[in-house]
Amino acid sequence: MEAEVELQQLEKEMVRLGKTLVVHLFVLLKTAQNYNEGHGALRSPVGNILGVIGEIHRRNEESSIRAQGGHLFLGEVRLKPDSSAVDPFLFIFDLLKRYGIGGIQFAVTVTPQEIMRFAYVLKEVEPLPYPPDVYIQVIGLLHNKGITSISTEPFVEEGEAEPSDDEAGEDPKAKAKKIYLHTVVAVSEVMDNAKMGQTLRLRKSKRVVQTMIDQLLAAESNLLGLTTIRSHDEYTYHHSVNVCILSLAMGQRIGFSKARLFELGIAGLFHDIGKAEIPEEILNKPTEFSPEEWEVVHRHPTFGVRKLMKLKGLDILTSRIVTGAYEHHMNCDLSGYPKYPYRRLSLFGRIISIADCYDALTSSRVYNRVPFPPDKALRFMLDRAGTAYDALLMKVFVNCIGIFPIGTLVRLSSNQLGVVVGNSGDPDRWDRPTVRIISTIKGEETDGGVIDLGSGDISITQTLDPYRYRLDPSLYFL
Ligand SMILES: [Fe+2]
Ligand SMILES: [Fe+2]
């Protein structure tokens, strides 16, 4: 494939530029050890660094040197030292580690003065004995010296969790919410970069998906509840995260390994990345699309492949991820789009299309129609099980969200109103979920606590449309 050849060339080019940047940095820091700030001997190393950074930015790539797992990277590309650059590689790696720096990033706006000052920041700080302190001194000095176009990130040992994600004893609900919001931020950054045609950096997304899988395995209902959050302004981001969570919940029930779940999570998170290429005026149009506009919208799975392929070869993506995103609107009976002579959708494609359709139907944003209440959306989809949606996977999906999905507003036989907050894992009790009581028998608002309909004789008599009652079910999960 032509695109793939192009990518391989770009990657080779990045490896070369990365190596050059490491060597020039090495020369600069060595020179700074022997001369005072402002000395003429520094002019040439500073100029060389600026030159490489410029070349990298011209290719729309990330100008950052990172140390991770014993290797140096330029952005996402792993660098391989050849015999001529072993010393500089070892020196830079060791230096970063001793200062607790995991990466140095140069912005497009970086000036020669900043590069010069940066070399002396490291000279001013005594490295070791305790890297977190050293790192804090480094960022303090960067700030004091007015170096705004060079930023750093802390060094993370292989296998070590992000410090902020590791607060022991944290309330599981609060933790789930934090993970959800981190994921929204990660996906919004990637989508915004995709819009501007910049390189997609998946580092953060990879991390949040890993955390999400751990959380899902530990306390699934907390995350599933959060998929009821609706944001009108940030629809695409929330939708992406919801599709990721719902897909993962299905993958987990099918028995996917952690590694496979990770791929599925990334595919779910970026299934709509092709929307970055659709003009905002169309996406946000308050009225019906014209046939021409539909045609553009229908191209987003194909656009998505193009965006995702940009990452291929960079050791992140598998064909499963790309195919899953491509197929998410195709439908099992191939009644959807893009039209392509297929025999059968991939497993990822079938999972993501169910998660995608469910979240889109229950959201208000899509094509500006009134959203379906969760149980109605499920009914709509179950009517299409075996045609548009894989029948077996629909069963798995019902098993995840219940026949009264989380977020459903229900009237109980006791005449109280409640919101479904959890489901029984037992198929025989799917009609008896856990419900948070939100109104008294007289219809007054109340927080009546959570009751398990699986025990006792209260049952659901009716499902109601929360929008008619002007209720936001997600509030009961926050
Ligand atoms: Fe889509
Ligand atoms: Fe979607």
Per-residue pLDDT tens for 201-222?
A: 777 788 889 889 988 888 777 7
Confidence of residue 12 (pLDDT cuts 50, 70, 90): confident
Ligand 2 centroid – CA 367 distance (Å): 12
Task: Please report the pLDDT score of residue 164 as a whole number.
Answer: 47
The percentage of residues in the chain with a pLDDT greater than 90, rounded to a whole number, is: 30
Closest C-alpha among 471, 461, 466 to residue 412 = 461
| Cβ atoms 216, 247 nearer than 8 A | no
Mean pLDDT (the chain) is 84
Task: Please report the pLDDT score of residue 168 as a whole number.
Answer: 55
Task: Please report the pLDDT score of residue 11 as a whole number.
Answer: 80
Task: Please report the pLDDT score of residue 315 as a whole number.
Answer: 52
Task: Please report the pLDDT score of residue 313 as a whole number.
Answer: 42
Ligand nearest to the CA of 357: 2
Task: Give tens-digit pLDDT for 40-70.
Answer: 889 999 999 999 999 998 887 888 999 887 7
Count Cα atoms within 13 angstroms, Cβ side, for 243: 33
Element (H, E) at 67: strand 64-68
Task: Give tens-digit pLDDT for 68-124.
Answer: 877 889 887 888 877 778 888 888 988 888 888 888 989 888 999 999 999 888 888
The letter for the amino acid at 454 is: G
Ligand 1 centroid – CA 302 distance (Å): 10
Alpha-helical (H) ranges within 125-201 are 131-144, 172-195
Task: Give tens-digit pLDDT for 166-210.
Answer: 455 677 778 888 888 888 888 888 888 788 777 677 777 888 898
pTM of the model: 0.68
Contacts of 322 (CB under 8 A, 6+ apart): 305, 308, 309, 312
Paired tokens of 163? 């410090």
Count Cα atoms within 13 angstroms, Cβ side, for 408: 28
Q: Is 266 exposed, middle or buried (0-12, 13-18, 19+ CB in 10 A)?
A: buried
Cα end-to-end span (Å), the chain: 47
Q: Is the pLDDT of residue 165 over 60?
A: no
Task: Please report the pLDDT score of residue 161 as a whole number.
Answer: 44
Question: In terms of pLDDT, which residue wins out, 119 or 370?
Answer: 119
Confidence of residue 163 (pLDDT cuts 50, 70, 90): very low
Confidence of residue 365 (pLDDT cuts 50, 70, 90): low
User: From start to end of 90-181, where are the E strands?
Assistant: 101-106, 150-154
Instruction: Report helix, strand or coil for 83.
Output: helix
Ligand nearest to the CA of 243: 2
Q: Is 95 exposed, middle or buried (0-12, 13-18, 19+ CB in 10 A)?
A: middle
Task: Please report the pLDDT score of residue 48 as a whole number.
Answer: 94
Rg (C-alpha) for the chain, rounded Å, is 26
100 CA to centre of own chain: 26
Ligand nearest to the CA of 338: 1
Ligand nearest to the CA of 326: 1
Pairwise CA distance, residues 32 & 36, whole Å: 7
Ligand 2 centroid – CA 356 distance (Å): 5
Closest C-alpha among 250, 269, 248 to residue 206 = 269
Contacts of 22 (CB under 8 A, 6+ apart): 65, 72, 79, 81, 85, 88, 89, 92
What's the rounded mean pLDDT across residues 270-278? 93
Ligand nearest to the CA of 356: 2
Task: Please report the pLDDT score of residue 348 as a whole number.
Answer: 96
What's the rounded mean pLDDT across residues 372-379? 86
Tell me which range, 125-139, 189-203, 357-371, 375-389, is most confidently predicted by mean pLDDT: 375-389
Ligand 1 centroid – CA 301 distance (Å): 7
State the pairing for strand pair 409-412/150-154: unpaired
Ligand nearest to the CA of 239: 2
Question: In terms of pLDDT, which residue wins out, 124 or 232?
Answer: 124
Ligand 1 centroid – CA 329 distance (Å): 6
Ligand 1 centroid – CA 300 distance (Å): 7
Task: Please report the pLDDT score of residue 1 as a whole number.
Answer: 52
Task: Give tens-digit pLDDT for 275-319.
Answer: 999 998 888 787 888 999 999 999 999 999 988 887 644 455 678
Task: Please report the pLDDT score of residue 162 as a whole number.
Answer: 46
Ligand 2 ion: residues within 5 Å (CB): 272, 356
| Cβ atoms 49, 92 nearer than 8 A | no
Element (H, E) at 410: strand 409-412
Ligand 2 centroid – CA 12 distance (Å): 34
Count Cα atoms within 13 angstroms, Cβ side, for 360: 16
Task: Please report the pLDDT score of residue 312 as a whole number.
Answer: 44
Task: Please report the pLDDT score of residue 337 as a whole number.
Answer: 92
The percentage of residues in the chain with a pLDDT greater than 70, rounded to a whole number, is: 90
